[in-house]
Structure 1
Amino acid sequence: MQTDAATAGETRLHGGVGGVVGQRAAATFTSTVAVEDPARLPMDRESEGRAASIADAQQNVNVRPSQIGTAGQLLAGGIAGAVSKTCTAPLARLTILFQVQGMNANGEKLSRPSILKEAARIVREEGFMAFWKGNGVTIVHRLPYSSVNFFAYEQYKMHLRSMLGIEGKQESLGVGMGTRLLAGGAAGITAATLTYPLDLVRTRLAAQTNHMYYTGISHALKTIYTEEGPRGLYKGLGTTLLGVGPNIAINFCVYETLKSLWLQSRPDSSPIVVSLGCGSLAGICSSTATFPIDLVRRRMQLEGAGGKARVYKSGLVGTVGHIVKVEGWLGLYRGIVPEYFKVIPSVGIVFMTYEFIKRILQPDAWD
């Protein structure tokens, strides 16, 4: 019966014979004619086209991997990090200066952080270019850090998807967020560990004001090694990894999840707008969640710097307790305002630049 109906339906499409089949064939014919109604055809095709676009966008975001090679991924990640850090260097330095203001052993009362007052002080005492103090080492650090970070994330995510048996397939929202969190955390820890001495030097150079104890990258590395030993180059690494892992995990997870949802609902959106918007929101989420541990790691990195007396002598827990006792719980968020001003453009720029470089290197990889 099904074969007869299909044959009759095909015959009718070529102008064939009505009454040789039963009711089912007649119903099929009626349905076919209704679909071919010229008045409804444009609307139906438009709906089908939009549905296909949404499906394609979702497929591109969640399933298709980047087709650029290892060198391309490393290059895109490095350039993205360097561009982002250079654009937001003034706010990054303000954040560091606010974070370390509480490092005084005499318990003096701290004034309320003021971005405008601190910015005016920097210009007055150190000059305008002092906003980029330490940016040279930031670039030296950020090029390998971002390269490893993005490359490791893509690799970890690919292996996780392969282990779960979902490589090349559509994934659920929960599974997608889980793989992004795990891959992002592992990538952040990998990149931070490999480039940590440069991060330590960057912090110490940026925290200097009028007295220049360290004159440059090589001098800082040599001085730290001589005065504090090899372990001094990794001072605060444990605390850093506690913050970097969750921070990068949240960044990648929020960014890619929001990007996926955005492109599903608006597949024709500008890639620049999508990257900036989703990246900025990801930066806000990650900074809010991990800022206290970042503040603690900055202070631990500066312990004993420049021959100064140690303020915190009992590790991570003792440092947190000292800050809360002297500055209150809000002391753990000292400098969060310039941090927000920094991460909103910074994370958006880094993701936008990364996507842009990938498109240049492999224009058809995301078509």
Structure 2
Amino acid sequence: MQKAEKVRPSQRFSETEFLVRSALAGGFAGGLAKTTVAPLDRVKILLQTHNPEFVRFAGVWGPVHALQYISQTQGFRGLYQGHTLTLARAIPHAAVGYTVYEKVKRWLMPTPEYQTSARRLTAGALTGISAMPLTYPFELIRVRMAVETGQTTIRPTPWSAIRGIMAEGRSSGGITGLVPVLHFYRGFTVSLLGTVPYRGGIFLVWETLNAHARAVLPPATLEANQTRIHFVVGAIAGTVAQIFTYPLEVIRRTQQASGKGTPNRMIGFQETVRSVWKVSGWRGFFAGLGIGLFKQVPTHAISLTSWQLAKKALHIE
């Protein structure tokens, strides 16, 4: 009996329906992962930006004590401060990113012989930068809310953060004074630079290790343990990318939070590097790396695994 040819998703659905299903799968994966690690993300931002109130939590067990401190002083909701903005950015970013990856992967690597490391890295890099111009302002607003630690009865809101950023723009000189919306892109350049190796590295490791698993494991074993394999591979991919690109992330977060100290101008890349070095030396570029790994390992493990499960549920895998 002749073996039935596997039907590709693009053959099963119209192009529009495939894109919609792919976006739903990606958005679900991004939202689930970010919600799971939101408290860790806030602590990481506070450590990265060298918040004076949280400098004492820089030790090995510091992040755990920082989480307890936030719970005691700001309540459970304090752990998710700014999370609405996180989802507003993460869901469309993941939806667009994963969908773009599916299209770019099909374009760059239509057959197995085209699946080279360079092409995998390029596909991941294009995925990372695809949604950044649209979603970056949400990330900046979220960072501003996350670094707000004043113990007052008035909780920071997205609108108060937006008004503050716009006021910074209007008070500055030059082009940002004329176009204050540019202040929503503090740190955008370094973020763009960091996204290329970060996202590219994640998908490079993801595709390479999954291809290796398919090559060495029996089909029955692969089928029975597919979700576990995806979870482990996603964790490894996130770990590798995080370690190699972390200094750029520290610089980006510092620039994003800089409006609190320099509202009348946007600090540049070199000035940020000098500032971090002056405060903490080379170690400053790895501030919060422990919790960064503690956060990024489950983030990418959950995101990539739930993406695969969602694609399977929506019949596009």
- Give the TM-score of the pair, scaled to structure 2: 0.83
- Unpaired runs of at least 5, structure 2: 1-5, 170-179
Report if aligned partners of 1:214, 1:220 keep a CA contact under 8 Å in 2: no
1:181 is matched with which residue: 121, 126, 129? 121
1:237 is matched with which residue: 169, 180, 188? 188
Deviation at 1:128, TM superposition (A): 2.5
Deviation string, structure 1 residues 59-97 (Cα, Å, up to 9, x no partner): x9xxx7776600011111111000000001111111111
Answering whether residue 34 of structure 2 is matched by residue 81 of structure 1, we say: no
- Unpaired runs of at least 5, structure 1: 1-59, 162-166
Deviation at 1:160, TM superposition (A): 2.2
Deviation string, structure 1 residues 255-314 (Cα, Å, up to 9, x no partner): 111111112212323221011000000000010011110011111011123xx3469975
2:47 is matched with which residue: 87, 98, 102? 98
Report if aligned partners of 1:312, 1:322 keep a CA contact under 8 Å in 2: no
Larger Rg: 1
Aligned positions of 1:221-300 closer than 5 A? 221-228=162-169, 229-266=180-217, 267=219, 268-269=221-222, 270-300=225-255
Aligned equivalents of 1:226, 1:311: Cα separation in 2: 9
Aligned partner of residue 304 in structure 1, secondary structure = helix
Equivalent AA in structure 1 for residue 19 of structure 2:
T
1:332 is matched with which residue: 264, 282, 285? 285
Report if aligned partners of 2:57, 2:63 keep a CA contact under 8 Å in 1: no
Aligned equivalents of 2:194, 2:33: Cα separation in 1: 20
Equivalent AA in structure 2 for residue 190 of structure 1:
S
Where does residue 220 of structure 1 map in the other structure?
161
- Give the TM-score of the pair, scaled to structure 1: 0.73
Where does residue 75 of structure 2 map in the other structure?
127
- RMSD (Å) for aligned C-alpha atoms: 2.8
Report if aligned partners of 1:183, 1:249 keep a CA contact under 8 Å in 2: yes
Equivalent AA in structure 2 for residue 300 of structure 1:
Q
Hey, which bits of structure 1, 4+ residues long, moved more than 3 A?
64-68, 109-113, 211-215, 308-314
Report if aligned partners of 1:303, 1:312 keep a CA contact under 8 Å in 2: no
Answering whether residue 306 of structure 2 is matched by residue 353 of structure 1, we say: yes
Q: Identity of paired residues, percent? A: 30
Report if aligned partners of 1:188, 1:248 keep a CA contact under 8 Å in 2: yes
Aligned positions of 1:315-326 closer than 5 A? 315-326=268-279
Deviation at 1:179, TM superposition (A): 1.2
Where does residue 341 of structure 1 map in the other structure?
294
Aligned partner of residue 195 in structure 1, secondary structure = helix
Report if aligned partners of 2:38, 2:83 keep a CA contact under 8 Å in 1: yes
Deviation at 1:111, TM superposition (A): 6.7
1:154 is matched with which residue: 102, 115, 119? 102
* Stretch of structure 1 that moved more, 202-211 or 192-201: 202-211
**Count of residue pairs brought into register by the alignment:** 291
Aligned equivalents of 2:186, 2:313: Cα separation in 1: 39
